Amino acid sequence: MFFTYLRRELRRRRKAALVVASGLALGIALVIVVNSVSSGMNRAQDKVLESLYGLGTDMTVTKAAAPPGEGETTRRPRFEFDAQDNDDTAEQARDLVMVQGFETLASSTVAQVGKQDGVGDAVGGLSVRVMKVNGQFRRGEAAPAQPRQGGPGGGTGGGAGEVQGGGAAFDVDSYTAYGTDVTQQDLGPLTSSKITSGRTFKATETNAKVVVLDSAYAKEKSLGVGKTLTISKTPYQVIGIATADSGDAAANVYLPLTQAQSLAGAKDKVTTVYVQAKDSQQIDAVKQTIQKNISGTTVTTSADLADTVSGSLSTASDLASGVGKWLSILVLVAAFLVAGLLTSSAVSRRVRDFGTLKALGWKSGRVTRQVAGEALANGLFGGALGIALGLAGAWLITTFSPTLTAQLGGGGGGAGGGGRMFGAAQAGQGGPGATSRALDIALTAPVSLTTIGLAVALAVAGGLVAGGFGGWRASRLRPADALRRVE
């Protein structure tokens, strides 16, 4: 009897039912789209942070920035060339290998960090910049002496000629290199790239003269697996080519940590300690522990680094998490209220029906359940329609994939390509060539099962809210009210 009456009433009042269901569907669809876009924003930001940090990295530890003006004289690149008096055509070439940011930590800091409570793993790395200068000096030549008139005695003499020509012509090439601990390659920037040719480092190559090149840099310099890259007069064999998963690569050149320390004159030094927490929910607590127990360091988490990401990605993320969510909540609340009011209004137009049913013996509870059942059916239909609309909206966003730009305030670029300043730049320190970079990220709108479950819950809740309004109104009707409506 319940379902028979329910089916008949929904069919007889299908226009009103469609209006109620459409209102709920609009609110539910908006919630799905906003949640899926917000998830897409989080994925996009994760890609940006992975390109800066490396997969699996929760935080980095760097040396605290020195006070302004302190140690400035040691931060100036200095090139020295040998005199070549006997050969004007001799080419001068020098490689200057500098630690990025000019700030380092003792290698023992890695072990200290690894012993702190909550730290799952820690690995050190050294980021350096290589500046290569080559060219030659050209000796000037004295111009022929010009005759000049003598004095009162009528004599003549030759004047000294001016030096003409000469000078210097030098090319400057700059690129970034990263010294990685080849015995622990699960953390650090190299993990954000994939080996597309050759191989990665072996655990035994702690001091081997081998390098892995970023694919863009290798293409620019026409280098491949098996070729040789010379750094500061030391030949290194290219064993692999790595391609960044997203955005620019972490460095142009990757080499064993010991070799990077030797080239930069930074024995037993690292610029950054990459840390993985045992529990991702305790990152802030681990950060405080490290800062408390290891003085002179700056700890930067992925949340801190996310604050440096600006551009359209940041703006869209703020809109999705702020304005979008509040808008979806307001629309949903409005949809619930409208559904409740429409159901209550429908009950008022059915006074004769419900009064007659009560006169025939229906209890108030049975009438209430009947109205609530109709409202719940409308809510479920609206939920199904809203899920369909929400999935369609998320599919359209993913299909067209609008491009968002992430402006990275901590990037470092050089003439050699899209290098990145680790540690120092992330901690807010500057360095040679420090500059902001932009990454283009394609937006997606993934819909999770949790979002679908939320939509179903909202549909049921909307039906219950509407049923509550209507059922309360129906329960107050009396059979006498129906008699007054009989014509």
Tokens of 83: 């005199």
Task: For residues 246 and 106, state if they share a domain.
Answer: yes
| SS3 of residue 419 by DSSP | coil
Q: Which of 477, 202, 246 is nearest to 367 (CA)?
A: 477
Q: Please tell me the total count of domains within the chain.
A: 2
86 inside domain: no
Whole-number pLDDT of residue 43: 73
Whole-number pLDDT of residue 446: 84
Residue 100 · residue 424 · CB < 8 Å: yes
Q: Return the half-sphere exposure (C-beta side, CA atoms, 13 A cut-off) of residue 117.
A: 7
Task: For residues 274 and 351, state if they share a domain.
Answer: no
Q: Identify the domain boundary among 267, 295, 323.
A: 295
Tell me how far the alpha carbon of residue 294 is from its chain's centroid. Answer: 28
Which phi and psi (to 5°) does residue 274 adopt? -95, 130
Q: Return the half-sphere exposure (C-beta side, CA atoms, 13 A cut-off) of residue 84.
A: 15
Task: For residues 387 and 475, state if they share a domain.
Answer: yes
Task: For residues 271 and 341, state if they share a domain.
Answer: no
Of 64-73, 180-189, 330-339, where does mean pLDDT reach its minimum? 64-73
Of 34-48, 208-222, 371-385, 393-407, where does mean pLDDT reach its minimum? 34-48
Whole-number pLDDT of residue 486: 46
Would you give the end-to-end CA distance of the chain in angstroms?
28
Radius of gyration of the chain (CA): 36
Task: For residues 183 and 238, state if they share a domain.
Answer: yes
Is the pLDDT at 62 greater than 60? The verdict is: yes
- Residues comprising the chain, all counted: 487
Residue 231 identity (one-letter amino acid): I
Task: For residues 9 and 37, state if they share a domain.
Answer: yes
Which of residues 458 and 66 earns the better pLDDT score? 458
Helices H / strands E in the chain, number of each:
13, 20
Residue 52 identity (one-letter amino acid): L
| SS3 of residue 223 by DSSP | coil
303 inside domain: no
Task: For residues 115 and 220, state if they share a domain.
Answer: yes
Task: For residues 290 and 318, state if they share a domain.
Answer: no
Task: For residues 345 and 479, state if they share a domain.
Answer: yes
Task: For residues 471 and 398, state if they share a domain.
Answer: yes
Q: Which of 117, 246, 130, 240 is nearest to 177 (CA)?
A: 130
Percent of the chain predicted with pLDDT > 70:
60
Q: Which of 412, 415, 443, 404 is nearest to 429 (CA)?
A: 412
409 inside domain: no
- For range 37-53, the mean pLDDT: 68
Q: Identify the domain boundary among 295, 326, 357.
A: 295
- For range 309-317, the mean pLDDT: 54
458 falls in which pLDDT band (50, 70, 90)? confident
99 inside domain: yes
Question: From start to end of 393-475, where are the E strands?
Answer: 403-408, 437-442
Q: Which of 281, 227, 279 is nearest to 253 (CA)?
A: 227
Q: Identify the domain boundary among 251, 269, 295.
A: 295
415 inside domain: no
Which of residues 71 and 346 earns the better pLDDT score? 346
427 inside domain: no
Task: For residues 233 and 126, state if they share a domain.
Answer: yes
Task: For residues 326 and 282, state if they share a domain.
Answer: no
Residue 131 belongs to what domain range? 65-70+91-135+169-295
Is the pLDDT at 265 greater than 70? The verdict is: yes
308 inside domain: no
173 inside domain: yes
